Structure 1
């Protein structure tokens, strides 16, 4: 007995009772996948709280210096002891100023706000005042600070954009220093800590790529402008660019159109038609027209939003699916058996099937993401074409009648509010539309894959095919009913006499068929109603980010907040930055203030046969030339006044009704 007990103790000392040895069917030599090491929290050599405090202090200092600079440049000649002026960050209604700087600053701002999502310290400089140990409930305490960060980051990047509007060498120097500081801090933090434990280890690095791109551009643009400011041609260049867009718009508008020959059209008919179709659906630059700055910012923010949302959807789901697929073991067969699901008797085959299904799920998710991003991008490109068509129609004097009631072309408080929030609304609609599209497309691709392709490939779980097999009489009856009614309507109940279709005299048979097929048509109507709901949901999901298209019927278009915002945005843009009005004001200023003769640009040189008589008045003439006296100045002023009165949308209500029949969609009612 003692020896047996000793033997039992000896064998028990060497026996392993771990969880992996409980199943005798476990294949020998199987190694469990090693779990991935968690990413530790990285600490930079310079704390983020200190760097943010330095950047905030530098931004405040630059803003104060810009305020003094604006006062000295604009108010010093008349009131030298006046108050400092607050510099404007962006001139949204200017058509001839640089658009790259506002676009880069808005990309930087939106990318910084996107990085706030996984950040635990939305205002890092607050840790210099309160230590983390003093916070009892950090998750609840950070919520108000994140809301406050929505105002902090615009104030932080305000001087970075305002340095470009000052148009002075000292402002360019301050912008260079500020952009270098921001760019250096971001690059230093990404180099020292490329991985973060939140969401995905490389999410912070990938999400900050638009941020680094915008700051990198600004760090190069400001030094270049600083070098240009020292040249003697800077003042002349600024004078040339002051009214270039308005004059270019009028030159293109009044230029004599050349008629294309029929032989040229027939020779290249297919290519020309393909190019016209391409230009109708894809935005291409057009000579003599330039999109407003608000639309350019909206397009840039839309691209940034697509990238940020797609990145978040990709790194938040795909790595998790890959980890689950890598950690699948033979124990999953017992888990599925607990739910009554038996895929196979072989446990290794069950493991392969589950891994294959997870791989198919990952493919469906990635395919839906690619499809949703592509459709959102194409819809936004199509929107730019509609923006240009609507603006050109309004410039020509079309009525601002985009809804059930005609809108006044004059600005209003509601219109100003909509103009202020247009770009922000466009960005939010793009993010939400991409999320909705991803959900719908993922569910659709997953249903198609797991109900059609995967069962047919493996030859099992043919649920959809079995359901169709059991319900084939229903679908055959509906198809026959629809086909027979269409054939009877075409061959039996409709006749054509003298080119005019009319009902035949078989009306009794028509009434009998309508009565007898009423129950079947109810079933057909149910199917059609379901299809209508699916099509409406898919259409609204695709066009959710498109603000120039109402998702409601025309009579209820005023209840669509996005479309309502777009209408008022067009009203402000046309009433405040009309190119013809700008050109008219430029002509008046040229008539009163003599301008130095500047060398003509090669692209502005036009032949006499390509210009209209009114356009020739835009050319600056030498006063010493014969005939260039008071009569020429009066003629120029009268022509400008006539053109402005004819094409000014603010005078639409006082013109004849025939002049306001054009709609902003470019069509006639």
Structure 2
């Protein structure tokens, strides 16, 4: 009995093994061998990545301590008293003339490092020296580790000292060398795509390469020219240039009739109005510069992820199509041809068309995102210039007061981060919509017409052409009747006529207009979705109607961002404070003291225009005084410190 049972078990196990081997294991046919799929092996660099990150973290901490000591000494030195302990800020976001390239490069490096965390299995490599690798718990910790790692790299540029430039040079060269060494030893990685890590690190290498060149140049300049009063003058240079441009006499251009302008000149004017171009006397705030830099980096990173995540897979599928695909299609009731080899060629051709549609949609979405966000810079400049001259913007139902608040400060802090997130999500949504649209056009219109088969759309139109013809004729007849039958003009004024026929046509065409309205409603939904998808990354435009603009979080954040920028970074206020700090001490003359204090600021803003000097110093002083008074009168940052009697002041000295 036991031997029979064992025999049964043996035969059953043999049957199971045979069945599994026949149905679930892909064995090669006779005389053929399976080609192994290309597998990227794991790279083991000569120096472990965990050790490199540990050294970088220790170096950043040491540089941070040296910066703290140097900053405390600089704070203590002027008055020889106890200085307050602290750290220099990574960037002066309210400064108008400080170097902007350094914060932009550091933010680009930071965002690129965060993008490389997506496929990384070890977000904090230095922890593997003491702890076993664990991916999930340390993902959120890495979001705080990398800003702290690159913080000294940005803070070395704000102190303005030769020692900090030396520290910044050492830190930048170390980071750049580690990244180049790592990419040179391990250019391929098994995650997502073999070259994704290398391609995604190009903005990172670009930012670190710029910093490794910028800090040595500043170190040489600090030793040759010093960092004394010249650096302080650079801080107020932009604000004084802004006032000179604002108060200077406008030069009259060569006015020519619009009829004489050619097509190229009109096209160039339209292009300049739609694309941001630098304007003399005005600079975008640092937050907007950072937003533009992060937007470009986000477009590159998201486009790269969408490209390498789909296109290589489609190519592998297209290369692996065999004659068995005809049986698979036949199971779904699809018979492309009786010849199996022709079916293989058709399937590969359709997969190639699918790849072309995907790449075309990606290029279109990236181009539209870039153009829309470039156009938004023009809106940012116009809104800031309007707020600087005291004009009130139509910000929907938001309060018009430009005083800072807690929520406005939060919006100002999060503006660049929200702009980056909106750009990434907007690009992803555009890619999906454009891909579906291009696939529909390619597979329902272009390919059936070219190959003369699978004419599904034409067959649908063949059976439903009376319906579409009826709707088109109804719309055309109503428009023609409205123009020629129901509208009459007497003495140049249009009026209704044939009211009886108008009422009869309205009643009879009601059912057909319901069908037309249904199609129009579908088109309205599609158009609204397409418009909102294209402008999703544009925060200066509300995606909701004006009455519900406050419900749009992106537009609400942008309005509060403008409030902080207009009230805290006004160039006229900066120039006024700089003039007060730079004014010389007048001689001991009590009777001339007030007059000298009034004219000191104006003497520092002398214009270089010979025509303005020829008008006489008296006219020049009067014009400059009026311009400065008008600018300070409409300055939102000084409204809270005025007397109540001056709160209602208007132009020409009149009061409400």
The TM tier, using the shorter chain, reads 0.7 to 0.9
| 1:84 CA drift (Å) | 3.0
- State the secondary structure of the residue aligned to 2:495: strand
| 1:378 CA drift (Å) | 0.3
Does residue 537 (structure 1) correspond to residue 529 (structure 2)? The answer is yes
Q: How does 1:83-482 map to 2 (within 5 A)?
A: 83-132=84-133, 141-232=134-225, 234-263=227-256, 267-482=260-475
Give yes or no for contact 2:91–2:158 (8 Å, CA) kept in 1. Answer: yes
Distance 1:228 1:542, change over 3 A: same
Give yes or no for contact 1:557–1:564 (8 Å, CA) kept in 2. Answer: yes
Give yes or no for contact 2:96–2:235 (8 Å, CA) kept in 1. Answer: no
Give yes or no for contact 1:72–1:80 (8 Å, CA) kept in 2. Answer: no
1:72 is aligned to 73
Matches of 1:222 and 1:161 in 2, distance apart?
Answer: 11
Distance 1:174 1:525, change over 3 A: same
Give yes or no for contact 2:409–2:564 (8 Å, CA) kept in 1. Answer: yes
Give yes or no for contact 2:244–2:607 (8 Å, CA) kept in 1. Answer: no
Does residue 552 (structure 1) correspond to residue 544 (structure 2)? The answer is yes
| 1:249 CA drift (Å) | 1.0
Matches of 1:608 and 1:101 in 2, distance apart?
Answer: 38
Q: Which runs of 5+ in 2 are unaligned?
A: 1-21, 587-604, 641-645
| 1:293 CA drift (Å) | 0.4
2:18 is aligned to none
Matches of 2:202 and 2:407 in 1, distance apart?
Answer: 37
- State the secondary structure of the residue aligned to 1:295: helix
Give yes or no for contact 1:584–1:644 (8 Å, CA) kept in 2. Answer: no
Summarize deviations over 1:6-35 as a string: whole Å, max 9, x none. Answer: xxxxxxxxxxx995548xxxxxx9x77834
| 1:260 CA drift (Å) | 3.2
- State the secondary structure of the residue aligned to 2:494: strand
Give yes or no for contact 1:49–1:124 (8 Å, CA) kept in 2. Answer: yes
Give yes or no for contact 2:247–2:624 (8 Å, CA) kept in 1. Answer: no
- State the secondary structure of the residue aligned to 2:136: helix
Distance 1:469 1:606, change over 3 A: same
| 1:233 CA drift (Å) | 5.3
Summarize deviations over 1:68-106 as a string: whole Å, max 9, x none. Answer: 001111223435544532111000000010000000000
Give yes or no for contact 1:588–1:637 (8 Å, CA) kept in 2. Answer: no
1:44 is aligned to 45
2:633 is aligned to 646
Give yes or no for contact 1:400–1:409 (8 Å, CA) kept in 2. Answer: no
Give yes or no for contact 1:105–1:157 (8 Å, CA) kept in 2. Answer: yes
Give yes or no for contact 2:248–2:607 (8 Å, CA) kept in 1. Answer: no
- State the secondary structure of the residue aligned to 1:243: helix
| 1:235 CA drift (Å) | 2.8
- State the secondary structure of the residue aligned to 1:337: helix
Matches of 2:317 and 2:616 in 1, distance apart?
Answer: 73
Summarize deviations over 1:227-267 as a string: whole Å, max 9, x none. Answer: 00011354353243131111111111122223334447665
- State the secondary structure of the residue aligned to 1:142: coil
Q: Which runs of 5+ in 1 are unaligned?
A: 1-16, 23-28, 133-140, 595-602, 619-631, 660-669
Choose which of 521, 532, 538 in structure 1 pairs with 2:513.
521
Matches of 2:355 and 2:606 in 1, distance apart?
Answer: 56
2:596 is aligned to none
Distance 1:33 1:377, change over 3 A: farther
Matches of 2:433 and 2:147 in 1, distance apart?
Answer: 34
Give yes or no for contact 1:587–1:637 (8 Å, CA) kept in 2. Answer: no
| 1:270 CA drift (Å) | 3.8
| 1:612 CA drift (Å) | 11
Matches of 2:264 and 2:97 in 1, distance apart?
Answer: 35
Larger mean CA deviation between 101-110 and 393-402 belongs to 393-402
Number of aligned residue pairs: 604
Summarize deviations over 1:497-554 as a string: whole Å, max 9, x none. Answer: 22221112x1111111100000000000000000000000000000000000000000
Summarize deviations over 1:600-642 as a string: whole Å, max 9, x none. Answer: xxx9972232579899999xxxxxxxxxxxxx9xx89966762
- State the secondary structure of the residue aligned to 1:242: helix
Give yes or no for contact 2:112–2:200 (8 Å, CA) kept in 1. Answer: yes
Matches of 1:122 and 1:99 in 2, distance apart?
Answer: 29
Pairwise CA RMSD of aligned residues? 2.6
Give yes or no for contact 1:123–1:149 (8 Å, CA) kept in 2. Answer: yes
Distance 1:262 1:166, change over 3 A: closer
- State the secondary structure of the residue aligned to 1:496: strand
Distance 1:345 1:305, change over 3 A: same
- State the secondary structure of the residue aligned to 1:502: strand
Give yes or no for contact 1:160–1:178 (8 Å, CA) kept in 2. Answer: yes
- State the secondary structure of the residue aligned to 1:191: helix
Matches of 1:236 and 1:616 in 2, distance apart?
Answer: 32
Matches of 1:83 and 1:586 in 2, distance apart?
Answer: 25
Summarize deviations over 1:420-443 as a string: whole Å, max 9, x none. Answer: 000000000000000000000001
Distance 1:465 1:97, change over 3 A: same
Choose which of 470, 476, 492 in structure 2 pairs with 1:483.
476
| 1:495 CA drift (Å) | 1.3
Give yes or no for contact 1:398–1:649 (8 Å, CA) kept in 2. Answer: no
Choose which of 537, 553, 556 in structure 2 pairs with 1:561.
553
Distance 1:617 1:47, change over 3 A: farther
Normalised TM-score (structure 2) = 0.87
- State the secondary structure of the residue aligned to 1:143: coil
Give yes or no for contact 2:95–2:235 (8 Å, CA) kept in 1. Answer: no
Summarize deviations over 1:357-394 as a string: whole Å, max 9, x none. Answer: 00000000000000000000000110001111111111
Matches of 1:485 and 1:615 in 2, distance apart?
Answer: 71
Matches of 1:198 and 1:337 in 2, distance apart?
Answer: 35
Choose which of 588, 591, 595 in structure 1 pairs with 2:583.
591
Matches of 1:575 and 1:552 in 2, distance apart?
Answer: 27
2:609 is aligned to 607
Matches of 2:173 and 2:548 in 1, distance apart?
Answer: 51
Give yes or no for contact 2:572–2:632 (8 Å, CA) kept in 1. Answer: no
Distance 1:263 1:379, change over 3 A: closer
Distance 1:605 1:394, change over 3 A: closer
Distance 1:584 1:637, change over 3 A: farther
| 1:336 CA drift (Å) | 1.3
* Bigger relative CO (Cα 8 Å, ≥ 6 apart): 1
